[in-house]
Each structure stands twice: as C-alpha cells, then as structure tokens.
Structure 1
Amino acid sequence: MVEVENEFEHKLMPLTSMASGNGLAYRPDIYCYSVQIVNVCFIGDPKQGDEGWVLVDAGMPRSAKKIIKEAEKRFETGPSAIVLTHGHFDHVGAIVELIEHWKAPVYAHPLELPYLTGIADYPPADPTVDGGMISELSPYFPHEGINLDDHVKALPEDGSIPGLKGWSWVHTPGHTPGHISLFRQEDGTLIAGDAFVTVKQESLYKVITQEQEISGPPKYFTTDWAQAEQSVKKLAALKPSLAITGHGEPMFGQVLEDNLTLLVSHFNQIAVPVNGIYVNTILH
C-alpha cells in the first residue's frame, strides 16, 4: 500500500467539462484523455508495444478506474513510469490507486518532491483573483501535499525522462516551484502542464464548454508570476508545433505560434490577475 497523509484522492469534485471522457491521438504515440476538467497524456505507440509507454499526470480524485480503463484500450501492459508535471490535486488525484494498480515508478522535479513526500503543503488558493466562479470556489480545492514516500523519485538532472527516448523535461516554475513541461524536439511536441493553458480556467462557463483561448497558468493556484512569465517565454522560444496543456483543447501550428506570441507580448494583461494575494511577484 502507498502511505498517504490525507484523503483528498477520495473526494468527489463535481466539476466536469463537455470534453470529459474524450480521448484522441494527436500523434501516433501521443494520446490525450480528458478527466473532468484536466488532461492526462499517454505517451507511447500501441503498435510498438515492446517499447512501453509513459503516463503524464494522474487526473482528478476518484478517476483511477477511468484512466486505467482508457489505458487498457490502447496498451496491453501498464506504463513503465508516471511523470508528474506538478502535484496539485487535479494532477495527482488518482496517483495512489494508479501506483497500487500498476506498480510504476513516479518521477517529478526535485523542487516538487516536498509536496509529494508529505513534507510541505501548497499555498492556499486565492479566490480574490479576477476571473469567475471557479476562482470563487477554489478555497474548497485541496492544497495539501501528498506522501508518496519512496514511490516518487527526482527526474534525472540531465533533462532526460526515464522511458521516453527523445524527450526532455523543461523546468517551468511559477504555478508551482517544481513545475515541469515535456518537449520532443524532433516534431515540436510540447506537453505544457499548467505553465500555460488553452482555456480561461477561472471561468466555470468556459471550463464547461471548453471555449478555446490562450491563458497563463490557472490564476487561483499560481504564486510566483515573475517565474510564470519567464516559463512562458522559455516554452515559446522552443517554437512548438503542438501543445497539449493541462486544461483546455490542444493547439497546433500557426494558431499555436500566434497565440504564444500574443501571450508573451501581453502576459500581464492576459495572464496576471488585476488583484490577488500573490500578484506582488510580478516582474514589472
């Protein structure tokens, strides 16, 4: 059994988008699956089963059965590893059950490990950020850390990702201290986590309808806006051709390029809240 110090993974979070339960392959080996209001990714070509596959993020609380069922449609075996972009509740909600089911090692950035090993809790959500109903509900979202004990390991310092040849991890802090994104140079595929998203995550209506628009990291949980801005600039400089974000529909090609350019040039206007507890971390 995996030891935990809280029970948020068993909580029912009644927030669901119209995309929930949908999955689509955006590359032969990149499958994005929507779990309520968040996306998880399966990286691996089911036609090349001997090469294995990797799960990126672990979805909402009580979503383990759905993730396992969807994975079993594509793969005959469990993942060789689970990589976490960060440890917020909607990205590790099913992690305990998935570890118990698949016995797969978990990897995260060293700066994220305190929140994944029971040492630290995240700062509480900020409901005062401008944005909408989800921002107002955010104080009810769990912000406690989780204790995965020795089931979670630090990602290699050289930027490589165990089980993912040709991929590298990019440190993209701001939303959390150890937030990472994953990038494959060969075809410009970016899995951005919450470094930026493609839906106004603070608005309940837009989350439900999945109306696409470029946005910074979810405002209510972002605590360092200076770092968040630098992380967006770092990802834009990679010139991705496909971006799968933690929330919202994927963006491609020229639409992605234009939107990232817009976000970089107008970061304070698009991403940073006018008011908020953590707004004093703005660069300028």
Structure 2
Amino acid sequence: MKIAENVFGYRTAIVNIAYIAGLGSTKKDWVLVDTGVPYSAPFILKNTKKLFNEKKPLAIILTHAHFDHIGALQTLVHEWNVPVYIHEKEIPYLESKKKYPPPTPFKEKGMMSFLSPFYPRDGIDFHSRIKPISSEHSLAFLEGWEWIYTPGHTNGHISLFREKDRLLLAGDALITVKQESLFAVLTQEKEIHGPPAYFTPDVETSIISIKKLLALDPQILYTGHGVPMYGKEIREGISDLLYQHSEEAVVKGG
C-alpha cells in the first residue's frame, strides 16, 4: 500500500515492512526497512519486483533485530548483496552473541502474549555486510530523513522520520494495534499502543522514546504492527497512551 509520497508498506503476516523510494541523484533508488517474519522472503521479492522491477535496494535498514523483523534478511541479502544498517547496540542480538530477555506473557493479557514464550529470542548468526548506526554514523544516503534513537522495546531500537511531511516510521517503538490480542491482530483494529508488552523489558525507557516521537508532531505514522494513521488521530492517540501510563503509574505507586 502507498503510505505517502515515495513510501510504501507491505504486511508479512503479523509485521509490516516499508519501502522508501525516490532516493539518489536519479530519484530511482530505494531502501527496505525491516524484513518481516521468517519464510516471507518469496513474498517480499515478488512485491518488490512489482514496485521496482529488477532494481535492487541501496541497503536494508533494521529498526531492531527481533525475529519478526529479520525473518527474510539472510535470503534478501543473498539475493541483493547489499549492506544492512542496524544500531550498534542491536548487532550482538543479530549475530546471536546475545539473546533478548525472556518474554513476560502476563504483563498484558492476550493470546499473542500467552504464546510469546514460544517466540524466538536469539538472532540468526548473521555477520554479512553489517553497517552499525551510531551517534557518529548517520544514514547519509537517506536524503531528507533522520534516524531517531528510540530504545525501550530493545536496547538499540531506531525509528525514521521525514521532516518534509512529518512522516514517522516508528518500528515497534509504538504501534497502531493491540499486538497482545490475537483478535486485534486479525482484525487490525486501529488504536495506538506502546510496543508489544511481552517483549518490552524496559517500559519506562520506551515511554521516554514515545514522548520523543510525540515531540516530532508526526502527521503520518506507519509502525511495525498495525495500519497507517494520519493527522490529529496520531497526537490524540499518543497523548491518550501516555495519560493511561501515568494513571497506571499512580495506581501502582499507591
């Protein structure tokens, strides 16, 4: 689906990927953001061919290294032989040198939460063509965009923002569906939520990241899970989310 000018979305089962086009001197270059769930590579390649014919991307950018965002990575890199950009704090997880913390299936109830102990937590032992994103290294080829450090869901999570139209690709820093609920996932009921609770070990840091994203005043929002959102519903949704969190904090604190 078209999200905005030169930005397209594609859903692989439970997770979204994004295409950023209109890059380079000819405006015909493009990049892929995230690579979907395992076994989604044939579908991604088919969709990519519809959009760009045989032209391969400049790079793949990963918002983080959870299993549902790196599922097709190895196949796509083998097919395209392009660099993979990911925050330096995520590299040990991508390379299987570290495992993500165990899930918390009862933090927020729902079938997807209850199933979370069965989701992979380790990486894919991937070492090929990795380019670290850090405070010293920007994504220079991504003209008109900036990367935003949005930890909490994971240590090295990033989001992407385009100032021109205030388009935010938030990854899982915040999402537009209640990912803990199987019913919500199947129906894609639109509502802004924090990152999937079962795989978010540092909730307070994730709230700080969400406040950082709210300060950008995004007018177009596309996330790792859920449907696109536009205009005032974004600010209202994020504000409601932050208010609910503050109310819960007061209750828990007595």
Tell me the TM-score normalized by structure 2: 0.93
Shift of 1:146: 2.3
Q: Render the CA deviation track for 1:226-272: whole Å, top value 9, x for unaligned.
A: 100100000000001001000000110011121112122222568x9
Post-superposition shift, 1:162?
4.3
Tell me if the contact between 1:55 and 1:81 (Cα under 8 Å) persists in the aligned partners. yes
- 1:93 deviates by 0.6
Distance 1:250 1:50, change over 3 A: closer
Provide, for residues 152-178 of structure 1, a one-character-per-residue CA deviation record: whole Å limited to 9, x for no partner.
110253563243111111110000000
Equivalent position of 2:2 in the other structure: 25
- The number of aligned residues is 251
1:1-284 aligned within 5 A: 24-45=1-22, 50-76=27-53, 77-158=55-136, 160-268=138-246
Q: Give the aligned residue type for 1:39.
A: N
Unaligned runs of 5+ in 2: none
Contact 1:38–1:91, Cα closer than 8 Å, also in 2: yes
Structure 1 49/267 Cα, relative in aligned 2: closer, same or farther at 3 Å? farther
Q: Within 2, Cα distance between the matches of 1:249 and 1:158?
A: 33
Runs (4+) of structure 1 exceeding 4 A deviation are none
Mapped partners of 1:37, 1:207: distance in 2 = 7
Alignment partners' CA distance in 1, 2:253 and 2:188: 30
Q: Note if contact 1:225-1:283 (Cα within 8 Å) is conserved in structure 2.
A: no
C-alpha distance in 2, partners of 1:30/1:263? 26
CA distance in 1, matches of 2:181, 2:247: 17
Q: Residues 15-41 of structure 1: CA distance to partner in whole angstroms, max 9, x if unpaired?
A: xxxxxxxxx112120001011010000
Provide the C-alpha distance between the structure 1 equivalents of 2:140 and 2:72, rounded to a whole number of angstroms.
Answer: 21
- Distance in structure 2 (CA, Å) of the matches to 1:114 and 1:216: 24
1:56 alignment partner AA: V
What is the distance in 2 between the residues matched to 1:248 and 1:132? Answer: 16
**One-letter identity of the residue aligned with 1:196:** L
Amino acid at match of 2:222: I
TM-score (norm 1): 0.83
Does the CA contact (< 8 Å) of 2:88 and 2:134 recur in 1?
no
Tell whether the 8 Å contact from 2:35 to 2:71 is kept in structure 1 after alignment: yes
- Superposed CA RMSD: 2.1
- Structure 2: which amino acid aligns with 1:118? S
For residue 11 of structure 2, what is the amino acid of its counterpart? S
**Aligned partners of 2:239, 2:197: CA distance in 1, in Å?**
20
Partner Cα separation in structure 2 for residue 146 and residue 162 of structure 1: 27
Percent same amino acid at aligned positions? 45
Cα distance in 1 between the residues matched to 2:236 and 2:79: 41
Q: 1:59 to 1:125 in 2, by over 3 A?
A: same
Q: Secondary structure at the match of 2:143?
A: strand
Residues 81 and 162, structure 1, Cα contact 8 Å, conserved in 2: no
CA distance in 2 between counterparts of 1:37 and 1:49 reads 34
Q: Residue type of the partner of 1:185? A: E
Measure, in 1, the Cα distance between the counterparts of 2:137 and 2:219: 20
Aligned counterparts of 1:144 and 1:136: Cα–Cα separation in 2: 19
